[in-house]
Structure 1
Amino acid sequence: MYPFPVTFILVVILSSPMCKGQNVNTCNVTPKDQYIEVGSDAQVVCQTSCVRGKIFWTLNNRPINEGLSNATNSSHTVLSLKNFTRHSATLQCHSAETQHVLGGTTIRTYSKPSKISCRFYYVSQNEGVPERLTCSWEHRINSSLEINYTVLVCQAAECTSHETERTSIDIDALKIYTSKNINITVRAKTAAWEVSSSHVEFDYYDILKIGPPKLNIAVLSDHLLVKWERPVAQREYRCQVKYSKVVSDGTSEEGLKEIPNSSVNITVESCSTYKITARCALNKAPWSDWSQEKTVLTKLNKSDIKLRLWRKIAEKEKNGVRKVHAIWMEIPATCQDTFIYSIKRIPYKEHMTGVNYTDTSCSKSNCVVDMNQDAHRINLTVLHNETPLAEDSVYVPAVGESLPHVTELQTATAEGVILVSWKAPVQPVRGYMIDWTHNGNQYYWKESKYTNTTLSDLLDKKPYNITVTPLFNDKTGHGMQALQICSRVGDPGNVTFVDVRPYDKSAYVSWSTESQEECSGAVINYTVLCSIEGSPVLNVTVDHSKQDILLQDLKPDTRYSVYVMATALTGTTKSRERLFKTKRFDPRLITALGVSGTIIIILVLSLGLCCAVQWKKFREKPLPNPGLSSVALWPSPGHQERTPPSQAVNNPSESPCDMVYPEETQRMPSPLPDTSCSGNPASDQTEQYTDPALVLTPDVQNEKPTELIETLHLSSPGESTALLSSGDGPFSPYRSQSSVETPASRTSKLCPRVPVKQQEKTAPMTVYVTLSMFEQGQGR
């Protein structure tokens, strides 16, 4: 790299007259910013004229071993770096005494282009002379300088050069001799350095990328035969065939075969769609592009027909007929031919003798067959153009037939699958049939030889009914159905509020749970959370049996928010937040006061109404007419005579209550018969005396006897009232009455002809009727 020794350069510099006396006190590092090839050696000189003593070097601020530097004289020190591989490095020279930096430089590395690869390929044709040659290489670049590449393509003594600024180039291959080896060299050049790669020689057929093969596919009953033409005569080659089965959901199952010839057999499934493509390559040459993909539909293979006939037996009806649901795996609908499924229902006893009974044909994958309570066997035959393709049969036990069954049937759910296990019966079995359904209409089933199985591809969060039936050589046992189980248990049902009734210091909260899915998780407990402006104040948990709660210790006239959270083993659900405000006063107290006030008002109104009715009755009673009052003597206390009703009631238009009787008379327990003057009863008399005061008014005559009694109690026996005499004035309507009048004296007035002994005279007393007397009688 350096044609002259460093010592010679230093001698020239020191002996130069231009430098003498000018750079004595100069310190520096040379050369500056040099580029070297990766892995080569480098030397750097430090001029130490400005300092005394030793120096030391640093590489990227780290000290370098002193053994790598050598002092040629007192003012120059040379640093030698062997096999330098860093991308870049900064070297600095330091004074050991003052630690000052005397100078520095940067070293950058570059590399040769390497890993050159080339290939011939076709553009518009797949055979003959290749049209293009493309080459690429790697170059370790650590420079901001612009790099230009020159590619030399040499065949024998002829070379052609091609310029590019990238690490790949595409060359017109028609100008290059084919069927011969070629040499490739790549040269990289910048303003600071230039380097060339090593020469690389390629065999023409090792870099020839042939065209994709042309496929010819034959569809047979059980496989596909794929063929293509040989790419290059008398040359070894290899090919790959890629095929994939198209599934209903759009995905595919891929397969890859690598073969050393031009044909291959591919085993496929019946009535399925396959996509096939292939590619080939010469021995060491790169792979060709994939051929155009071809799609084929395979034929029906008899060996692929798996009917897997099974049955589900319904309960016996009243007429003794059983509905047996026969199910099987039908031939895929992708098979475009027409197939007929024939069901034969054969009594088991006659089946043993070979007697057949043909039933109707079925075009679907299930049929319902009517059977009696005897044992039967169902035979299923698949026909294509009246030619049988496959057969299968299943046993249907008789009603009440003693057959073994599995025991200890258990199920469990784990990550979307159902695990089923059971205990085998005592009798030896050849296997078990497991069937399951989520709606009772669509069944799935499979056969197992073990006492456990896993059910997958289930609908999410759906309840399933699972039945396990043991299988024997020519019969089937009784099926054992497990408890209904969900494929996956979801979160508990949604919580919805029913009512929030706030009081002053409490609130009644009730809610309900609505399950949106069949397999919602069972609620373990409910948590009611109440808060004020986002700050929790209450957190109450109740078990799943309660759906209401009374929140206590609340503040009156305060806004709250409340929600309910349901917790299950599988998760939690949360209701919507509900806002409410407590009352200023207890509404129940207001309600009680309102009810009490209403009752009091009703009682007051009822009492007032009664009083109004009584006052109305009182106002409607006529006032007594003093002109109708008569004078009568007060009977003695021992007098028991009572005026006969015939004499007392002479005016039918008057009421008995309008008559006025002395209180003494009212006290008589029973009336005495009135007699005439001769001692005979009054009825024998032709002439009667009628006291006008005893004539009843019409309205009083219609009143009840009780009212009459009340009217008669006007005054007490000892009461004495000064009344106006009938002779006091011509306008007085009242007659003179005596407070003491014996029956004898009264008789004397009626019968003057009979002498009667007069009693001792007393002061006469006048009596008249006033309205106050009625009031006193009512008061009594």
Structure 2
Amino acid sequence: MISSWVPVIVMLGIFVNGARSENVTRPCATLQTSSSVVPIGSPVTATCVISEDCPLAVGQAVHTEWRLGDRLVPSSPVANTSGRVSEAVIPSFNHSRAFLTCSIQGSPPQVVAGVEIRAGYPPEAPQNLSCQTNLTTPKRLTCSWDAGQRETHLLTKYTLHTQIRYSKKNYTYQMPPGVCSFSIPRLDFGLFSEMIIYVRAVNDLGEATSSPITLEPISAAKFDPPEIVKIEVPRKYGCLTLRWCLSRHQAWMSNQRMNIEVRLKTADSNEWSEIPVNNIKPSRPVDQCRLLHWTRYFAQIRVRFQQSPWSEWSSSQSGVTLESAPTGHLDSWMKVSQDDVTKQLNIHLFWKASKQFRANSQSVSYMVSALKEGKGKVCSTRENNCTFQLPRRAKKVYLTAVNSVGKSSPTEVRILHHKDREAVSHLKAVPRDNSSFLVEWEGAVTPDLVDYVAEWRPLLETGLSHIRFDTAEKNRSSLVLTGSFEPDKPYGISVYPRFKDGIGLPQTVNAYLRQKAPSMVPEMKIKKTWKSQVELTWGEIPLAERNGIIQSYKIFYWNEKGPINIVNVDPAERKVVLQNLKPLSRYEVFMMVSTMSLIAIFMILTGIGVTLSLLVIFVFLKCLSKHKRLKRRLWPSVPDPANSSIKRWTSESTQDIRSLNVGQQEPNLVYLSHLSFLDLPMKLSKEEDLWSNNAEDTSDLGESICGSPFIPGYSGSNSDSVPYATVIFSGPCSSPSPKKPHVYLRSESTQPLLEREESFSPKCYQNMVTDEVSREQCFFGPSHNCGPGEETGPDILWDDFPFLRALAMNDIQND
């Protein structure tokens, strides 16, 4: 803030304190410095001279003071000047800019002179000067540079200088402050004319010039991406021919020799290989050889002129090299067993491409033969495995890859039998990443050990085609298995030691790439119970549902009042005995199944009772499911005719019923409300006498049979009672037994008169046995099923009619 008002004070002091003459106003003091612009950190010397006619110093001693900004600066008067000349020295000026003032002491001090001092650094030489030509519209040569790392704190001006060597033309371009680039117009340069270009920086403390560069503008041009016209396949194995051209904007450069770079990659790879090709015209094709046979390659190119910047890469084009015979050998793995029936060897042979093997064809098959020349073929397949039989004396087979052009050199495979030798221990397999396993083991190195074979397969799949293998040198104890592994699926991994004379015993582990909770839990069952113990068992979780390696079963159980008890069960046991249980108590049981991922799921078994409680619950549930049958056993099904809604039977209705002829026509169905006899036999059985004598106990259903309300002199104990059936005979009580069948008429009461209500199409029921009456009669009229030819035991049918049972008569009673 001081720097803004100090000049005002100085000018005001000069105006007030200056002496006025006729034509000019003289200042009160003058101030001189060694330099107004100095390098930062350098000393500064200043002198202040107060004039004789300064009004502030007339008739008195003059005392001056110096200030740099708002800081007091030491000073000293010059001898023999009466104090009117003062000198100040600043040993190190460390400000980029500041005001130095000279004042006459007073209250307040009066500023009589001042000056601004600036400090900074001289410019550095511009660095990294580069130029690039733009060949598209507008055509320009753009140059740029770096001003330097150090700030000068002073105004620095940059100028771009060009010299065209052959035309002797020079051009200078002034840059605006802070700008470090410039585009030279097309008229000031020639594309194929050599130029010298440099940059100069200037400020108050000095100047600096960059290192000059010499170039042809065309050699500084960045071309557009070229174009691959097509890729041809020459009649040479492992070669491709690329035909290319410049973009249409740079087609006028087609006769110039260019430098290009070709990059290639196979279809199944992400890595590019770059091949430079120098000094070639765009009209000339480019051959790329030493490529893999029968392999699809993708190609891109970029271009530049001499040492110009590279263009961007062109778009990709692809081509396939010629097919040739397979080359290299195959890695193999064999499993041998003996067939006791055929006395031959069962051989399962697996193979895969080695690092040196090349199929050189899209379609390749494999042949296994007993002889090196390809004779004695035992197997031919397009798969990577084969099963065949050989005599026991066979020692080796030969594996050959075949395509349409030829076949590879045979790979010798020795037939090695399995031996009871251990050389692998402490095998473990852990996930390495999302697509591979790290397999580690401890091996016993022996002189005849050749290598190790790691075999793996998905345990949920069957068939030889799912088996994969890899090999490791004998001095190694780990191997990374890569492949299309699926998470949450089990894999069996085995490591075999392979000796010169056989295959040793393997170590095998099951592994998961990623584990989760099992998809199910086994069902717990009660196997045995004691007074205070219960044994629970469960089955094994299916392999497809485990989703990991089972680590433990944990059983939680408790009763209604007790604490929660926990029992850990070994995964191999699958049974547990819960001890110290309270008799006659109900327990709830949970199961937790854990895998390596520490995720668990639960299964509950409720209602585990000990001894008597379990039996009581079972009997109670059984009774609920059979409640109808139980009701008949405990309580007889007694109808309640008193609550029937059927109207009383009139005497007119009775007379109509008496006149019914059952043999000729179907009786009219009369709704009955009394059990009464319209006709009686001469003799009564003891059962009938007892029933008729207990009229009060049976609520008028047991009234005297001859004392019916429809017989003169009837005097029932309950005149308002509601009978529920009437048995109609064909003659009076004193007449002999009728010759025509009797008819039972049943009430349509809403009360449960019998054990169950009859359906709308009633069945036949058995009547009393007489000499001339058929054994079956029907309620509610005749039935098609009624006939004299069918007989049903009377005891069975009469059991369904408890109150009509008293009417049953046999042949002896009829007599």
Per the normalisation by structure 1, the TM-score is: 0.48
Larger Rg: 1
TM-score (norm 2): 0.47
